[in-house]
Amino acid sequence: MKEEQQPQDIPKQKLRLKWLLKMAWRDTRRSRGRLILFLSSIVLGIAALVAINSFRYSLNVAIDEKAKTLIGADLVMGMNKEPDSTAVALVDSVSNLGRRSDENRLASMVYFIKSDATRLVQVRALEGEFPYFGEIEADPEESSRTFREGQNALVDYNLMLQYEAQPGDSIRVGSLKFRIAGALHHIPGQTALTTAIAPVVYIPRQYLPATGLMQRGSRISYYYYIDLPSSVQPDTLARRLEPRMEEYGLFYDTVQTRKEGMGAAYNELAGFLALVGFVALLLGCVGVASAIHVYMRDKLSTIGVLRCLGMSSKQAFLVYLFQVIGMGLTGGLAGAILGSIIQLVLPGLFGAFLPVEVEPYFSWGAALQGVLLGTIVSVLFALLPLLSIRRISPLITLRASIEHLTSQRDPLQWAVYGLIILFVLIFSWWQMGTWWQALSFTGGVIGAFLVLAILAKLLSWAIRRFFPANWGYVWRQGLANLYRPNNQTLLLTVSIGLGTALIGTLYMVQLTLLSEVSISRNEDQPNLVLFDIQNAQKDEVVSMTKQQGLPVLFLDPMVTVRLERKNQITGAVARNDSTLDIRPWLFTREYRITYRNNLTDAEKTEKGTWDENNNINQDIIPVSLEERYAERLKADLGDTLVFNVQGAMISTKVTHIREVDWNRVQSNFQIVFPEGVLEEAPQFFVLMTRSKNEQQAAQFQRSIVERFPNVSTIGLDLILETLDEVVGQISFVIQFMALFSIFTGLLVLVGSVNVSKFQRIKESVLLRTLGANRNQILAITALEYTLLGLLAAATGCLIAFGASWALAVFSFEVEFVPVIWPLFIIFLLVTMLTLAVGLLNSRGILDRPPLEVLRREA
Amino acid sequence: MSAILDIQNLKKIYNSGSRELTVLQDINFTLYTGDTCSIVGPSGSGKTTLLGLCAGLDRASSGSVILNNIRLDNLSEDKRAQVRNLYVGFIFQNFQLIPTLTALENVMVPLELRGERNVQRQALELLERVGLAQRHDHYPTQLSGGEQQRISLARAFSNKPAILFADEPTGNLDEETGEKVEQLLFDLNRETGTTLVLVTHDLELAEKTKRIIRIKGGTVVSDTGVPAER
């Protein structure tokens, strides 16, 4: 024999990428339909993300283009109480640089004389040239300017429709009559939703005092719109003045701050919606992984032959990697196209929330991102089954039954798991903005995966371990299908279970949020609220209410206060030290508080005591806090709080913490003082009553407005109507995004069951050949899919329950509302759907002779 | 003539749970260029395992396999794949054509793997030789068993292998078709001067080779037709 060649003497094999690409394309020939089914599961997720991100882009473009019209001026300064001389001096000094418009805002009743009806509105008393940028849109057009010239008003367009008012008709605001100059369509920077909640009526500011609405304790805000010369940089000026403005209690807005605030708010919303889309994409990825897993199993013999003929493991791996990349690219492209089409409808969908008109632009960035994302997720999730290609032994060509993998352990698999987790983490961080949220989201997804995988394994093990050997043939076959080699238990449980969990969570979170804002229409609860009742008017309003045959259900005093300090922590300290985890706005906002020594039916003591024995004869007054407010403030019994009661500092000590049922229609409070402390402070009263019908309510409202123009009344029906409208809009958007998950879930289910079909066909045909009849095969298949559906759906629902509880409690900080029925319906639907898809897939096997099926499927 | 396949003290053990199962032991033989050899034996005697080891599809537990002067048991799976691509041809009982490739493409694969050019012409010539040039664009499912095996023959000879392994090449064919395929196999073997190793139950087919190695219970029980020392 000649001398032996050494391994290094064998020429190094080239990769031949071009040929591998060709092989990848050739190899898809008989599977293109199936590959399209696989990729369809990622298309919807990508489409959702592209649509949201394109929309985000279009919105940013619109905000940028119309930035100045967002606030209508260069600088807006404002205050929620009457400014003192120092604040006025500061505002004057700034406005001396340019032009200024003044506006007062207050909630008040408006009386429509022609239709003899009253309605609570936001009155804006305006003086000056506002807006300096953009237009107040009104009909007739010139009325937005001319109304300022006399005793005229601009009335919200929808309000005019509702009360059948026409320009030229009259309304009464407080005790003054105004002629309607025009219908108000749009105010710069205002969204349709905010005007729906609080419809606006503009009046000239010089008439405000004469309306009688400016009383002591009235809640009036003061706005100053300033048009600065181009030489003055509004942001530089505002930043320089910020410490003083803060000191005087003034807030400010520039085009830039409004843009940033708005951008942040809408980006947060878009981020949340993108995450819902991402959930759909993740679900699709599970579908891709499971489909590729089965696809690779079908390709074993082809890979074995290629390995036999000399293809290296790397080349074999690349052939299928190229197929997955192609699939991901196509899926991403299809998703990007679909998403770009969907984004055309989004401005309409979000219309009510938007401050500016958004024109949908095609965003190359978002589309490219979609294509890339499709490719990345397809590759990442397909890598697990793809990695096994490297270990396929060529021996499979000689013996089909041989263990086809050369070894079971592959460290690269762990690297792929790590990459997937890293990807989910980074993507969710990118969408949500904080690592904490991203970690929770990723942890939740991993947890759900693990629970489902462990349960699936447990089921297989339990059935095998406690196999009921004496049961009938059909039961034994059906149950054995769950643990036999090549079973679908793990795959279907994880994909169906995860889909159920995601959809269930979305649904339950939505219901929990909706229940948070819903108010029960209980027979005994008030349906009419009167507020802004002055101390001097209190007795007369009460007697008038009783005279009209209406009960006084609640009468609470309200005092406006601000929190100055908690122990040694002031607003400035909280702002500068984020480790305290106390929101600084807790110190700048105003609180409407009450005083009493008792608890209402809606309140329950959590800690401490609250009764007539409260000791008010010390320097430090006892105070009761609502539990969630205490939590936000990180306050507990014994903590000292200093309140600014319209100039007077009052030190208090937390002696009581209450749980409050906010869903009750009554005035609930975060802070309650004991009696005997605030009686002399400026205050107003809120009265709640219940009318028997609409006529009685209208009559009562009219007589109250007639006698006390400053007192506002609002019907519960109107609140509910407005809430329904707002909640309806929000739900619609969330449901629209959730639809992507639902459809993806369906596609994954069909895909998962469909890929398992190829496995089941061989077995079923064999059973038929051996003499099993149609009904037996049907029963075996039905049993297997019912059990899988039951397990996956039940686990998915349990995960949804846990996840929505965690989201409600930790993320939204609301009370979790366990809704069992919708979840039970989801459970039934998913189980039935799994069964139906499973049976539909075996239809072809049942109705044809075994040989025909074998030939057709070969 | 030089040795093309040298097997020394070959042993193969499978681990079945905690048990060890010896399927081949003390196998020794050498094949020379141009030899034709059959490995025969009853089912489960280890014929196919031996074929797999000889062709470098599997690794021996001990002993050595030297193919065309390359010691296979030292090589990684990918290096062995390259050796197979350079020097080995295969014919399988169940044809093992790639279902997604046409007849022509199936024949082209070993050449394309080598990076050769004008492979289509070479593959077409081979198809012509096996009488299936007109079916070149048909997929395996569109061909009969005999036709598939003829395509398989064309593929096996396409890379001009130094040694060709055939595992029950006529096992899935009827007698008449089987005979035609056998004839074609031996003709091609003669024309190319390739060494041929057949694994078969079929003694009639085995007797058409010069040398017959009988194995039983994992060991060689007889080796007839061994050429004189070269």
C-alpha distance from B116 to closest chain A C-alpha (Å): 11
- A51 and A197 share one domain: no
Instruction: Summarize pLDDT for A713-759 with one digit per residue, the tens.
Output: 877 777 666 666 666 677 677 667 767 777 777 777 777 676 666 66
Domain boundaries, chain B: 33-61+75-224
Domain assignment present for residue A824? The answer is no
Any chain B CB within 8 A of the CB of A395? yes
pLDDT at A272: 72
If you ran DSSP here, which 8-state letter would residue A31 be given?
A: G
Rounded Cα distance between B57 and A227, Å, is: 84
Is there a contact between B81 and A395 if contact means CB atoms under 8 Å apart? no
Of A183, A211, A231, the position where a domain reaches its end is A231
Which of A509-523, A671-685, A792-806, B123-137 bottoms out in mean pLDDT, i.e. has the lowest?
Answer: A509-523
A302 contact residues in B (CB cutoff 8 A): 98-100
Q: How confident is the model at residue A6 (pLDDT cuts 50, 70, 90)?
A: low
Asked if A536 and A664 sit in the same domain, the reply is: yes
Distance CA A274, CA A636 (A): 38
Q: Which residue type does B20 have?
A: E
Q: Are residue A43 and residue A90 in the same domain, yes or no?
A: no
Last residue of a domain, one of A413, A435, A457: A435
B115 phi, psi to nearest 5 deg:
85, 20
Q: How many CB pairs under 8 A join A and B?
A: 114
B133 within 8 A of A850, measured Cβ to Cβ: no
Q: For residues A265 and A283, give the distance between their C-alpha atoms in angstroms, rounded to a whole number.
A: 27
Q: Return the residue in B113, B120, B164, B198 with the most chain A beta carbons within 10 A, the one to mutate for interface testing.
A: B113
Residue of B nearest to A3 (CA): B69
pLDDT in tens, A553-568: 888 998 988 899 999 8
Of A370-379, A839-848, B22-31, the one with minimum mean pLDDT is A839-848
Query: Among A29-38, A359-368, A506-515, which stretch is predicted with the lowest mean pLDDT?
Result: A506-515
Pick the residue with more confidence: A377 or A469?
A: A377
Q: Hey, is the C-beta of A394 within 8 angstroms of any chain B C-beta?
A: yes
Specify whether A684 is located in the same domain as A656: yes
Judge whether A652 lies within some domain.
yes
Q: What is the DSSP letter of B154?
A: H
Is the CB of residue B43 less than 8 Å away from at least one CB of chain A?
Answer: no
Q: Do B115 and A19 touch (CB under 8 A)?
A: yes
Report whether pLDDT(A851) > 70: no
Q: Looking at CA atoms only, how far is residue A23 from chain B in angstroms?
A: 9
pLDDT at residue B54, rounded to an integer = 94
pLDDT at B124: 95
| Residue A36 structure tokens | 């399209």
Q: Give the mean model confidence (pLDDT) for residues A206-221.
A: 82
Distance CA A121, CA A136 (A): 18
Terminal Cα-to-Cα distance of chain A (whole angstroms)? 47
What pLDDT is attached to residue A45? 87
The answer to whether residue A522 sits within a structural domain is no
| CATH no., domain B33-61+75-224 | 3.40.50.300
Higher local confidence (pLDDT), B96 or A521:
B96
Within this chain, do residues A36 and A171 fall inside the same structural domain, yes or no?
no
**What does the DSSP assignment read for A267-325?**
HHHHHHHHHHHHHHHHHHHHHHHHHHHHHHHHTHHHHHHHHHTT--HHHHHHHHHHHHH
In 10 A of CB A457, how many CB atoms? 14
Q: Residue length, chain B?
A: 230
Neighbours of A479 (CB within 10 A): 20
Identify which of B48, B78, B85 has the shortest CB distance to residue A398.
Answer: B48
- Interface check for B3 against chain A (CB to CB < 8 A): the answer is yes
Q: Are A536 and A613 in the same domain?
A: yes
At residue B94, does pLDDT exceed 60? Answer: yes
Question: How many domains does chain A divide into?
Answer: 3
Residues β-bridged to residue A625: A657, A671
What is the CB neighbour count within 10 angstroms for residue A614?
20
pLDDT on residue B117? 83
Q: How far, CA to CA in Å, does A670 sit from each of A556, A629, A648, A656?
A: 14, 6, 20, 12
A697 and A617 share one domain: yes
Residue A456 included in any domain: no
DSSP letters spanning A201-257? EEEEGGGHHHHT---TT---EEEEEEE--TTS-HHHHHHHHHHHHHHHT-EEEEHHH
Across the interface, do A393 and B84 touch by the CB < 8 Å criterion? no
Least confident of A3-17, A146-160, B14-28: A3-17
Q: Which of A2, A10, A306 sits opposite B2 (nearest CB)?
A: A2
Residues A385-428 pLDDT 10s: 899 888 888 888 887 655 555 445 678 888 999 999 999 999 88
Is the Cβ of B64 closer than 8 Å to some Cβ of chain A?
Answer: no
Residues A173, A286 within the same domain: no
Structure tokens of B37?
């050899």
Please tell me if residue B32 touches chain A, with a CB cutoff of 8 Å.
no
* A10 with B70: Cβ contact below 8 A: yes
Residues 122-181 of B with CB under 8 A from A: 141, 155, 159, 167
pLDDT at res. A848:
64
Domain assignment present for residue A446? The answer is: no
Write down the pLDDT at residue A543. 92
3-state secondary structure A687-730: EEECCCCHHHHHHHHHHHHHHCCCCEEEEHHHHHHHHHHHHHHH
Contact status, residue A220 vs residue A105, Cβ threshold 8 Å? yes
pLDDT tier, A216 (very low <50, low <70, confident <90, very high otherwise): low
Contact B96 A301 (CB under 8 A): yes
Apex A390 CA angle, A388 and A396, nearest 5? 85
Under DSSP, the state recorded for A392 is B
d(CA A566, CA A573): 10
- The whole-number pLDDT of residue A295 equals 85
User: What is the nearest CA distance from B38 to chain A, expressed in angstroms?
Assistant: 17
Q: Which of A389, A406, A435 is the last residue of a domain?
A: A435
Residue the block writes with tokens 């700034």 = A94
CB-based contact A152:A146 (threshold 8 Å):
yes
**Mean pLDDT of the A426-450 span:** 85
Of the listed ranges A97-101, A299-303, A327-331, A531-535, the one predicted with least confidence: A531-535
The one-character DSSP state at A140 is: S
Shared-domain flag, residues A125 and A185: yes
CA pair distance A731, A513, nearest whole angstrom: 9
Please indicate whether residue B60 or residue A280 has the higher confidence score (pLDDT): B60
Average pLDDT over residues A63-77: 84
Q: Does A18 touch chain B (CB under 8 A)?
A: no
Chain-centre distance for alpha carbon A489: 33
Partner-chain residue, chosen from A16, A308, A314, that has the shortest CB–CB distance to B84: A308
ipTM for the complex shown: 0.93
CB–CB of A397/A304 below 8 Å? yes
Instruction: Considering only the beta carbons, identify the residue of A5, A31, A306 that sits closest to B70.
Output: A5
Query: Residue A857: what residue type?
Result: E
Q: Does B191 touch chain A (CB under 8 A)?
A: no
Q: Are residues A218 and A272 in the same domain?
A: no
* Shortest Cα distance, chain B CAs vs residue A10, angstroms: 8
Is A248 or A351 the better-scoring residue by pLDDT? A248
Burial of A13 (0-12, 13-18, 19+ CB in 10 A): buried
Average pLDDT, chain A: 83
Confidence of residue A319 (pLDDT cuts 50, 70, 90): very high
Do A311 and A398 fall within a single domain? yes
Query: How far, CA to CA in Å, does A776 sit from each of A473, A767, A773, A788, A846?
Result: 9, 9, 5, 18, 10
Contacts with A16 from chain B: Cβ below 8 Å: 112-113, 115
Reported as a pLDDT band with limits 50, 70 and 90, residue A663 is low
Instruction: Check B81 against A10: CB less than 8 A apart.
Output: no
- Domain encompassing residue A700: 528-716
- Is residue A557 within 8 A of residue A685, CB to CB? The reply is yes
Complete DSSP assignment for B75-118? S-HHHHHHHHHHHEEEE-TT----TTS-HHHHHHHHHHHHT-SS
Q: Do A105 and A57 reside in the same domain of the chain?
A: no
- Closest-CA residue of chain B to A304: B96
What span, in angstroms and rounded, lies between the C-alpha atoms of A659 and A652? Answer: 20
Closest CA to A367 of A324, A345, A344, A334: A334
Instruction: Dump pLDDT digits (tens) for B171-222.
Output: 888 888 999 999 999 999 999 999 999 999 888 899 999 999 999 999 999 9
pLDDT (mean) for A311-327 = 93
